[in-house]
Amino acid sequence: MENHRTEQFNNALLHSLSTIQAAKTQFHLFTASSPTSTVLVSQIRLCDVLLGEIGAISCSLQRRMRYRRMIRRCSVARGGRGSRHLPVV
C-alpha cells in the first residue's frame, strides 16, 4: 500500500513540475515580446497556473507527512516494528 501511495505522490509531483516548467517557458516567451494587454493577461494566467501547481505540491507534501506521522504513531503504539516476532524468553 505504501508503494502505491509513493508512486501516486511521485506521479503527481512530476506532473506538477512539468506543468511548472511549461508555464515558465511560456512566461519567458511572453516577456520577450512587447507588453500589450493580451500579453499581460496571459502572464497573469500563467502565474495563476504556477501558483496552483505550487499549492498542489504543498498540499501533497502535507498529506504525505501527515500519513507518515500517523504510521509512525501506530507503529510506536504497537511496540515498534516486528515486536510480535520477538522470541519468548
Among the ranges given (17-26, 29-38, 70-79), the one the predictor scored with the smallest mean pLDDT: 70-79
The confidence score (pLDDT) of residue 50 equals: 93
Span 38-64, pLDDT tens digits: 989 999 999 999 999 999 999 988 888
CA-based diameter of the chain, in Å?
80
CA distances to 25, 41, 47, 49, 65 from 13, rounded to whole Å, are 18, 27, 18, 15, 14
Contacts of 50 (CB under 8 A, 6+ apart): 20, 23, 24, 27
Residue entry with cell 522470541? 87
The model's pTM:
0.64
Residue ranges of domains in the chain: 2-79
